[in-house]
């Protein structure tokens, strides 16, 4: 997409899931997704903010919070994983397999899941099982952080 | 000397593809939802597909499968 001559005042976002279009063409002020930093020294709680005029970016989202800021209103979603594409004209597309509003999450299930997977990691034998258990821990810790954040 | 190996996420090093990783994450998140959202999400996990083996340019047989995500 072409870069406009001046920075638009609002960010236009499209947020889609496989089964529904969560947000389409909404104009918002800012966006804060949790990108995945693919380097070895990954920071756990790295947050990225997207404002109008942000440099064009492709970001892989790791399980975490996506907060959409519209004026003073903030809507928070927990994204299981996905991608965010920021285009030069400040249109941002976010695709996710699963995203839920944070208040749809049950805290007791999160705690239980975290404990379960921590135990699975200890008892895992193959690399694949260890990876699955690690994913479980990552996702549940992110859910936990999202609930308390 | 710079390392020639690109950094790989732990799941890829263990032989998992991104799509497998992404689907596991999604079903874990669905598993932590409150009712009624959880049962709504459960319906999304069902997969319905038909598999057919091909031989000599023609499909031989077709088996229809309907799996729900095994966990």
Residue with tokens 């690109």: B6
Scanning every residue of chain A, which has its alpha carbon at the shortest distance from the alpha carbon of B25?
A80
CA dist., res. B10 & res. A91, Å (int) = 32
Q: Which two tokens stand for residue B20?
A: 């497998």
H or E element at residue A82 = strand A82-86
Condensed to tens digits (0 to 9), the pLDDT of residues A15-33 reads 888 887 777 766 666 666 6
Residue numbers in A near B34 (CB within 8 A):
104-106
Condensed to tens digits (0 to 9), the pLDDT of residues B10-24 reads 888 888 899 889 988
- The 3 state secondary structure assigned to B3-37 is CCCCCCCHHHHCCCCHHHHHHHHHHHHHHCECCCH
Residue numbers in B near A80 (CB within 8 A):
22, 25-26, 28-29
CA dist., res. A1 & res. A90, Å (int) = 9
Has residue A138 got a pLDDT over 80? Answer: yes
Has residue B50 got a pLDDT over 80? Answer: yes
Where are chain A's structural domains? 11-102, 105-148
B21 reaches A (C-beta below 8 A): yes
Q: How many beta-carbon contacts under 8 Å exist across A and B? A: 83
The CATH number assigned to the domain with range A11-102 reads: 2.60.15.10
Condensed to tens digits (0 to 9), the pLDDT of residues A67-114 reads 887 777 778 888 888 888 888 887 888 888 888 888 889 999 999 999
pLDDT of residue A114: 92
| Whole-structure pTM value | 0.75
Lowest mean pLDDT among A32-36, A56-60, A118-122, B41-45: A32-36
Lowest mean pLDDT among A17-26, A46-55, A136-145: A46-55
Least CB–CB distance from A127: residue in B15, B38, B44:
B15
Whether A53 and A38 have beta carbons less than 8 Å apart is answered as: no
H or E element at residue B38 = helix B37-44
Tell me how close the Cα of A5 comes to any Cα of chain B, in angstroms: 37
- Nearest alpha carbon to residue B11 among A146, A138, A110: A138
Across the interface, whether the CB atoms of B37 and A132 are under 8 A apart is answered no
Has residue B3 got a pLDDT over 70? Answer: no
Residue with tokens 């899941």: A113
A115 reaches B (C-beta below 8 A): no
Scanning every residue of chain A, which has its alpha carbon at the shortest distance from the alpha carbon of B36?
A104
Has residue B67 got a pLDDT over 80? Answer: no
């Amino acid at each position: 997409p072409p870069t406009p001559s001046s920075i638009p005042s609002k960010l236009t976002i499209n947020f889609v899931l496989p089964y529904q279009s969560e947000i389409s063409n909404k104009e918002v002020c800012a966006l804060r997704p949790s990108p995945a930093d693919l380097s070895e020294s990954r920071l756990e709680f790295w947050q990225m903010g997207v404002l109008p005029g942000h440099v064009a970016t492709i970001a892989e989202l790791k399980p975490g919070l996506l907060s959409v800021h519209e004026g003073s209103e903030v809507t928070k979603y927990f994204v299981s994983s996905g991608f965010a594409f920021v285009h030069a004209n400040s249109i941002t597309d976010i695709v996710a397999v699963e995203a839920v509003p944070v208040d749809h999450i049950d805290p007791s299930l999160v705690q239980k899941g975290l404990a379960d997977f921590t135990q699975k990691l200890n008892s895992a034998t193959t690399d694949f099982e260890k990876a699955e258990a690690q994913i479980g821990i990552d996702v549940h810790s992110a859910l936990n952080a999202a609930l308390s954040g | 000397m710079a390392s020639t190996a690109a950094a790989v996420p732990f799941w890829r090093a263990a032989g998992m593809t991104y799509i497998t990783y992404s689907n596991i994450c999604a079903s874990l998140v669905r598993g932590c939802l409150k009712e009624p959202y959880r049962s709504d999400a459960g319906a999304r996990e069902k997969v319905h597909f038909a598999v057919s083996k091909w031989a000599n340019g023609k499909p031989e047989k077709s088996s229809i499968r309907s799996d729900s995500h095994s966990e």
